[in-house]
Amino acid sequence: MKCGECPVTTAVDLKVSAAAPSTATVAALPTAKFLIVTWTEAETGALAKVLGQSKYHFTTGKENNFTPLVLKDLALPAGDPKPTCHGYFFQTEVNGASVVLLKSEYHPKAQPAASESFFEQVVGKAPHHYQFLITTGTSGGIWQIIDVGDVVVTNLARYGLTLSAEKQNMHFTGLANIKGSNPPAGSDSWYDYVNNHIIDQDTCVISNLGAADGRKPASGKPKIYYQAPAGETTTVVTNSHITNDHIDEESKNLDQYRKMGATLDENDAFVAEACQAIGFKNWVSIRNVSDLPTGPKDQYTTFGFCSSLNGAYAVWAFLMGH
């Protein structure tokens, strides 16, 4: 990986106040205004950098100071090696609002039959434990203009071309207002503020994503997209498999994907369907582009942390706007 130890090089006050770490295993998540769910180590490490006030670190399931979560009456997730918990979390506040960040060991696309049960325990039946659910992490870019390091924010999800026709006909809509309110003076939204005052000035992001096989020279600097360009859609498309072994296959479908959405990921439609089943509407997807269907391969291995850092900044912007 190009970089996993970049400092957060922003000059702005992120208004973060993180709780003291505890590594004692618990059986339920604390309640809060916001729940953020992510999956990979790079994503989790980047969110810990931005939202953890230098108190938290996450390298692997064995190298972190998060709190392990083992839910009651739910089988442990699949994996090799098999996880010892359902996830790891920490608590923080952003601008005075309570936040829980959960690194999930449970992947909906790997165990779709248990998705509803998992999110029912995590989010809770009405009354729900959280006002907002944010799922975030790496994705493949679909739009022509998207490149490694860009971020897409959307309340729309659908299943893609590796799922059944019945699944492909299912569309999900989450939180109505993903833009938020009360942006700083001179910015139309908190996302615009992050684009201009954080991402544009973060030396880790700019220098590393400009390396070989990173952003194309014509792509300019990374950007958060929360509104679709003309003729595009911000739907996140979820497939059953998106790995380096399938890049060539996904590449052949790119023209069709561009009619369906902005990013290609493995989990969000499963999450959205589970939210619909438990009656939870305030879900939003924030996807940082770490790989492209057309290659080069292994971009996430190389740029995982640096591209994930932009996703973490976009999550911060959502928190500030809501």
The domain that holds 22 is classified in CATH as 3.40.50.1580
Tens of pLDDT along 296-318?
777 888 888 888 999 999 999 99
pTM (2 decimals)? 0.95
215 within some domain: yes
CA atoms within 13 A on the CB side of 188: 7
Structure tokens at 77: 């997730």
193 within some domain: yes
pLDDT above 60 for 3: no
Three-class SS of residue 205? helix
7 within some domain: no
97 within some domain: yes
Measured between alpha carbons, how far is 234 from 245 in angstroms, rounded to an integer? 26
202 within some domain: yes
The number of distinct structural domains making up the chain is 1
Confidence of residue 1 (pLDDT cuts 50, 70, 90): very low
Look over the chain and give the mean of its residue pLDDT values, rounded to a whole number.
Answer: 90
171 within some domain: yes
Confidence of residue 111 (pLDDT cuts 50, 70, 90): confident
Which class for 125: exposed (0-12), middle (13-18), buried (19 or more C-beta within 10 A)? exposed
Closest CA to 135 of 275, 22, 248: 275
230 within some domain: yes
The larger pLDDT score, comparing residue 56 to residue 304, is at 56
Q: Which domain holds residue 23?
A: 16-321
11 within some domain: no
Confidence of residue 11 (pLDDT cuts 50, 70, 90): low
C-beta separation of 65 from 23 below 8 A? yes
